[in-house]
C-alpha cells in the first residue's frame, strides 16, 4: 500500500511538472476538478444563482431479526427509522461567479445543503454549508483553490451528484470513502438492533454529519490539452476533518490525483470521452482509545485510501469501472459508532487499523431516438479483509432506468439485489445479515 501511495503521489507531481511544458488551452473545463473549481470569464458574471432538488421514495424488502428488530442495512438512511419512506434527500442552493470587474482571474463557489441526508441529519437536520472556495487562476498551469470543497478522489465522490446515474452509492464508496466522524465515546458499547416502529430510536451513533467527500484546505491543479487529449492533475493539503472549517489535531491530510482523457465531444457533466485515472488520500485521525473507561488516551490513527479506474462515454454506451482500497478508520456500521465490532480495543473486528477493498462496474445504454436510458451496476465491498472473525463481503447488483424530461430534469428508478455474507461464518454476523433483501427506489432530479 505504501508503494501504491508513493506511486500516486509521484504521478500527481509528475503531472504538475509536465504541465509547465505546453501551452494552456481555455477549454470548457468539462472534467470534475475543472468544472467545479474554475469559471471562464466569458461564461459567468459576478454572481450566478444555481442549485438542484432531489426527492425520492425508497422501499426496503428486508426481513427483521427473529426478535423483530433491525440493523442499519435493513433500514432507509439517513434516519434509519423506517423501511419505506418519502424524502427530500437533497435541496441545494448556491452562487458562483468571478471577481469581474475587479479581476476575472479570481472565481468563487458557494453551496449550501437543506435536504435530509448524511450531511444534515446527524445533528438535527439544520442546513449546512458544503462548499465555500475561491480559485486563483494567476499562475500558468497551476491554479490554486482554497477553502471548503470536494477533494480529488474516486469518480463517484468527485463527480457532481445531480448527474449521478444511480440513487444510492456503491457499498465501497458509501462505507469506505464517505467518512463518518465521532467525537467521543469511540469505544462505548455498540448500539443494539432496534424496532423503530416501537421505540422511535434509530441505531445511529454518529454525532455529526458525513464528510461528503469534502475537506478544508488548499489545492493546486490544472488541465492541459494535446489536441483532444487532456491531462489533469491535482495535489491538495487539508485538515482531514470533513465539513468542519476547523480541526481537532495538528496532523493534515494529503491528496493526489492524475487523469488522462481522450475527448470525443460535447461539454459539461455529460461530455463524451474515454478517461483513465488514479488517486490517493492519506492522513491521521485523533482517537480517544479509553473513552469507555472514562479516561482519555488520545492517539493518532492512520487513514489511507487509494484507487484507480476508467470511464468511457460515447452514446449510446457508458462504461465505468473502478477499484479502491483502504487501511485504517474502516467504518463498520452506524450502530457501531466506535469503529469496532465488539467494543473492545483488540485486533478482532477493529476498523481503526483494519483494511478493506472493493470495486464496481457500471454499464449504461441510451436508447436511440428516446429520452430514456437503462443502467446496470455490479459492486463488491470486502470489509475488514483477513479478519479471522469479522470479515464481511457485500455484493450488490443494481438494475436501473432513467427518463430525461429535459436537459435539467429526470426521473430514475433502481432495484438493488443485495447480498451480505460473513466470510468466516461468524454466527452473530450470519444471524444479523439473515433476511437482508432487495431495495427499490424512485428519484426525481430538477436542476435550476
Cα–Cα distance, 69 to 222 (Å, whole number): 51
**Can you read off the three cell numbers belonging to residue 32?**
470534475
Task: For 57-95, give one letter per residue: b (16+ CB within 10 A) or e.
Answer: bbebbbebeeeebbbbbbbbbbbbbbbebebebbbbbbe
> Which pLDDT score is estimated for 3?
46
> What secondary structure letter does DSSP report for 355?
E
> Which pLDDT score is estimated for 7?
40
| Cβ-contact 220, 142 below 8 angstroms | yes
Extents of the domains making up the chain: 2-447
- Which residues in the chain show pLDDT less than 70? 1-30, 41-44, 182-192, 197-206, 288-297, 335, 337-338, 342-347
Give the mean pLDDT of the chain.
Answer: 85
CATH class of 2-447: mainly beta
Do strands 372-383 and 355-366 pair parallel, antiparallel, or not at all (unpaired)? antiparallel
> Which pLDDT score is estimated for 126?
79
pLDDT tens column, 122-170: 777 779 999 999 999 999 999 999 999 999 999 999 999 999 999 999 9
Q: How many CB atoms lie within 10 A of CB 150?
A: 23
Long-range Cβ contacts of 258-261 (<8 Å, 24+ apart): 258/8, 258/11, 258/12, 258/14, 258/15, 258/231, 258/232, 258/233, 258/234, 259/31, 259/231, 259/232, 260/229, 260/230, 260/231, 260/232, 261/31, 261/229, 261/230, 261/232
User: CB within 8 A of 189, min separation 6: which ones?
Assistant: 292, 343
> Which pLDDT score is estimated for 8?
44
Cα–Cα distance, 387 to 443 (Å, whole number): 37
Amino acid at each position: 500500500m505504501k508503494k501504491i501511495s508513493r506511486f500516486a503521489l509521484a504521478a500527481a507531481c509528475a503531472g504538475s511538472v509536465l504541465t509547465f511544458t505546453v501551452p494552456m488551452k481555455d477549454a470548457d473545463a468539462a472534467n470534475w476538478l475543472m468544472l467545479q473549481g474554475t469559471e471562464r470569464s466569458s461564461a459567468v458574471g459576478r454572481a450566478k444563482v444555481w442549485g438542484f432538488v432531489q426527492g425520492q421514495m425508497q422501499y426496503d424488502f428486508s426481513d427483521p431479526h427473529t426478535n423483530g428488530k433491525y440493523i442499519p442495512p435493513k433500514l432507509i438512511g439517513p434516519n434509519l427509522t423506517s423501511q419505506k419512506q418519502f424524502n427530500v434527500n437533497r435541496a441545494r442552493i448556491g452562487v458562483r461567479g468571478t471577481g469581474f470587474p475587479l479581476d476575472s482571474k479570481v472565481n468563487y463557489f458557494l453551496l449550501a445543503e437543506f435536504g435530509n441526508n448524511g450531511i444534515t441529519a446527524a445533528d438535527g437536520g439544520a442546513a449546512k454549508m458544503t462548499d465555500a472556495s475561491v480559485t486563483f487562476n494567476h499562475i500558468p498551469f497551476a491554479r490554486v483553490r482554497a477553502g471548503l470543497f470536494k477533494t480529488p478522489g474516486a469518480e463517484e465522490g468527485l463527480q457532481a451528484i445531480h448527474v449521478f446515474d444511480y440513487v444510492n452509492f456503491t457499498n465501497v464508496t458509501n462505507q469506505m470513502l464517505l467518512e463518518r466522524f465521532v467525537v467521543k465515546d469511540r469505544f462505548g458499547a455498540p448500539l443494539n438492533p432496534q424496532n423503530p416502529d416501537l421505540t422511535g430510536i434509530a441505531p445511529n451513533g454518529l454525532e455529526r454529519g458525513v464528510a461528503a467527500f469534502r475537506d478544508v484546505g488548499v489545492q493546486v491543479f490544472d488541465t492541459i490539452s494535446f489536441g483532444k487529449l487532456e491531462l489533469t492533475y491535482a495535489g491538495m493539503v487539508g485538515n482531514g476533518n470533513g465539513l468542519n472549517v476547523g480541526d481537532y489535531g495538528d496532523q493534515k491530510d494529503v491528496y493526489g490525483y492524475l487523469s488522462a482523457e481522450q475527448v470525443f465531444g460535447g461539454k459539461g457533466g455529460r461530455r463524451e470521452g474515454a478517461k483513465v485515472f488514479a488517486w490517493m488520500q492519506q492522513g491521521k485521525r485523533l482517537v480517544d482509545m479509553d473513552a469507555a473507561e472514562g479516561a482519555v488516551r488520545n492517539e493518532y490513527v492512520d487513514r489511507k485510501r487509494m484507487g484507480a479506474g476508467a470511464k468511457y462515454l460515447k452514446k449510446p454506451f457508458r462504461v465505468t469501472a473502478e477499484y479502491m482500497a483502504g487501511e485504517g478508520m474502516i467504518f463498520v456500521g452506524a450502530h457501531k459508532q466506535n469503529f469496532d465490532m465488539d467494543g473492545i480495543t483488540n485486533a478482532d473486528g477493529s476498523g481503526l487499523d483494519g483494511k478493506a477493498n472493493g470495486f464496481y462496474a457500471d454499464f449504461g445504454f441510451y436508447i436511440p431516438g428516446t429520452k430514456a436510458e437503462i443502467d446496470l451496476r455490479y459492486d463488491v465491498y470486502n470489509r475488514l479483509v483477513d479478519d479471522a472473525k469479522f470479515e464481511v463481503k457485500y455484493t450488490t447488483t443494481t438494475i436501473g432506468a432513467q427518463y430525461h424530461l429535459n436537459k435539467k430534469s429526470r426521473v430514475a428508478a433502481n432495484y438493488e439485489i443485495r447480498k451480505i455474507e460473513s466470510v468466516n461464518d461468524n454466527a452473530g454476523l450470519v444471524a444479523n445479515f439473515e433476511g437482508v433483501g432487495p431495495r427499490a427506489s424512485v428519484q426525481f432530479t430538477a436542476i435550476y
